[in-house]
Amino acid sequence: MLIDTHCHLHFDAFDADRDAVIARAREFDVKYLVNVGTDPATNEAAWKLSESDPFIFHTAGLHPHHSNEITDEGFTELEKFVEEKDPYAIGEIGLDYFKSEASPEIQKKRFIQMIALALRRELPVIVHSRNAFDDTLAILKSEGKGKLKGVMHCFSYDTESLKKLLDIGFLASFTCNLTFKNAGALLDVAKVVPLDRMMLETDSPYLAPQIYRGKRNEPACLTHLAQYLAELRGVDVETLKRHTSDNAVRFFDLPPYHES
């Protein structure tokens, strides 16, 4: 099977046909969906959706774009939510120096707080990092203290950065942007990630594969990514599916899959 380790099915892009999107994912062998929160409101929405389907798993995060939208009191409420709703990971969290309106200082503050929360709850982290690799890695090292389990989602850096990430025990996750015509050097990175350190995601509704470029992405499209990446690496697609799914089950501590 396939596991979409990062999607946002609770976003309003899916309001008109969410049930059909979930059913279509299953038809294309995407059996588990990790539904990722980005702020208090979407954390709540992700949790509610997971309550409706035993194959959807929620996370709780604070995306760098929203790091300036929450007060210290609001952060305390977020911590209470995590304690009460028991997400499968802390994320999406991290740093974004590309287009975030939040200052680097507030982004770093909230990133550090979310890492501390993950360590207290013994949860893995899902990290967003854009144009900020050095600061992201420095914080993961200093605050994680070798105890933090995590993945850098939608990995977009070079092979040297990949090595540094793998050296601290993290995984790298790839999205359908690998199929873009301008993927360039990222393809070289995707070729060398060890199969036991890689996961797959759609980040839907964003980053639809090249054949659907400009349209809404959805978990069913993960099958295109798996086939493309298997061909790129010269491995059987079933082998790629097995490894990436096993990695996801271990990473998120998901239950064994059984057909209902």
Domains in the chain: ranges and CATH: 2-252 (3.20.20.140)
Closest CA to 80 of 126, 121, 37: 121
User: Mean pLDDT over all residues of the chain?
Assistant: 97
User: Is 258's pLDDT higher than 80?
Assistant: no
The answer on pLDDT for 151 being more than 60 is yes
pTM of the model: 0.97
Residue pLDDT, tens place only, 51-98: 999 999 999 999 999 999 999 999 999 999 999 999 999 999 999 999
Beta-bridged to residue 94, according to DSSP, are 128
pLDDT at 260: 57
